[in-house]
Structure 1
Amino acid sequence: MHRRTALALPLLALPAIARAQSSGRPLRMVIPYTPGGSNDFVGRLLADGMASRLNQPVVVENRGGAGGLIGNDVVAKAAGDGQTILLAGSGSFLISSLVQPRLPYDLEKDFAPVGYIGASPNIITVKPSSHITNLTELQAYGRAASGPLRFGTAGVGSTSHALGAMIGVELGIELEAVHYRGTGPALNDMLGGRLDILTNAAAPFLPHLEAGTLKAVAVAGLRRTAALPDVPSSAEQGFPGLNSATWYGLLASGGTPAPRLAELHAALNDALNDPEIKRRLTESGVEVETLPSPAAFGDFLTEDRKRWARVVSRANLKVD
């Protein structure tokens, strides 16, 4: 039996493997959200890009629910043979582990880092029928409201859950979280007028913003994003504490041998360096960034979990 690889455990430096020998069976990529969200867009694009480089099909499996825990658990319980990988994110993998009272897996032992993909600043949106055009107006509206404003999340512990709680703290307004099994269902309710606020990475919002069926009031970060250059950042509007980006990365099941992790890492980075894939990710709001090794991604995960632990504590984020 292979020894399981902890997230931050340094892996042996191995030469990049440009093209793997096909195992004869598909590689399974689990996306821990329902179709229609930013994770789904990123995962499917990279599944196509990695398939040719690995010389094996990559089959996407959406397993939404519990803020990412259901999909994460599928990968945690899979054989450590490198045939099952997880499209992990800041919310579904790290934040969920900080707000859920119990996890069905060991965050360190049951997963092995593959590689980092990049990050997308989150966009704060409101209903198009609303008069709100910026964060100051949102603050005034929230303070004058007779009850809490409803904000949708992609699930308990998702990045949208964390950012929604941060909005309440930073703007000093009362908010009520409404949890869904992914961004797609939350977006449907937002478009139907049943939510006041919805945040997410830009990709699933873009067609609705262009069509005028959704209104963006801020990029939750220190600067604007190339995907929405006319939308001011929260820092520009006087709220630098609203700084939240969704990052994406790949993890394999714990116990996956180091040579297989190196294959997957090489295929991922090669796909991310493809001009067409990089263009599509950038246009969707993802700032592409690669790391030199699986171990480097493991180190990133360790440090980012510490950062989010401070955010969760400050916002008093917890399971309702």
Structure 2
Amino acid sequence: PDSKVWRLYEVLLYRYVQRQSQLEVADQLGLSIRHLGRLETQAIQVLAERLRPALRPRPGDGGESTAAEEAGSLLTEELAWLSQSTPAETADSAAILRAVVDLVQPVATRHNVTIELAPCPPLMPLAVHPVALRQILLSLFGAAIRAAPGQRISITVTARPAEVEVRVRADRPAQPVADKSIAESLDMARRLAATFNGALAIDSSSEAQEAILTLPASGQVPVLAIDDNENTLQLFQRYATNTRYRLLPATSLAGALEVAREASPRIIVLDVMMPDIDGWEVLGRLRQHPLTGHVPIVVCTILAEEELALSLGAAGFVRKPVSREAFLSALDQACPVAPAAR
């Protein structure tokens, strides 16, 4: 096949089908992050051009009358995709919040609106897909700006034990604004938030207009990985980047028990092919140790011994070489996401 076309196909496959990170794809294809970014943009443009003829309505087929239904169907599909991808994704809420405020600043200037963002406290990662979080905030801030021309908008963030609250308060203009897009944007923000068990409440009873957005926090799951190969541990570390998992590496049993004592892992990933100690023995000792006996263990090895691993008490098994998708899937099975976190 044409090498340029094939490269674009690889970029789309690895980034958007297999959901690998930019760093992983750049390493795999031997590209810089900047070059990969340019290829992503080009690949999406090519795909859009190929799809456009198939999506263009034909004369007399009733396309105009069904436009709203198609939009609703597309939105439902997008929400389903975002919801399904939640277990493997977390959002850096503070960074995204600041980025979105910067993004809407030109719109605020056009409407003569002043945005005041209060200092943001340290926040836990959110159990919300980053794409969804950006759009929730964009819709909410955009609606607030359009509803309060010439006024001041204040944004405050509060960290709670299990959630983050974003409060947007706008001074009420002298004349109400008749703009149906305001209600549409708020509805979009509300639907997106609800997809991740969040909520958006609107309070218009006082002199100011106030929107209160609450989103669930997602504490990262500590994962103890035991492997004598530091390159493998670094690979697992990259796999865990931007997920709900926090990798804790160890190259020996003694080191693993020390990590377990300090960090209380909720999953253990164990290689059974280690030079200084029999990994199967390590599995047995971990199953009996008071620090780790209750922790599910995923055996990750080049050996084809899944039945043996499970019979010795392992909760899961993955065969090396392991892909990011398989690695994260094994972790998800060992530590399922509670329904409230989805």
TM-score using structure 2 length:
0.24
Report the TM-score when normalising by structure 1: 0.26
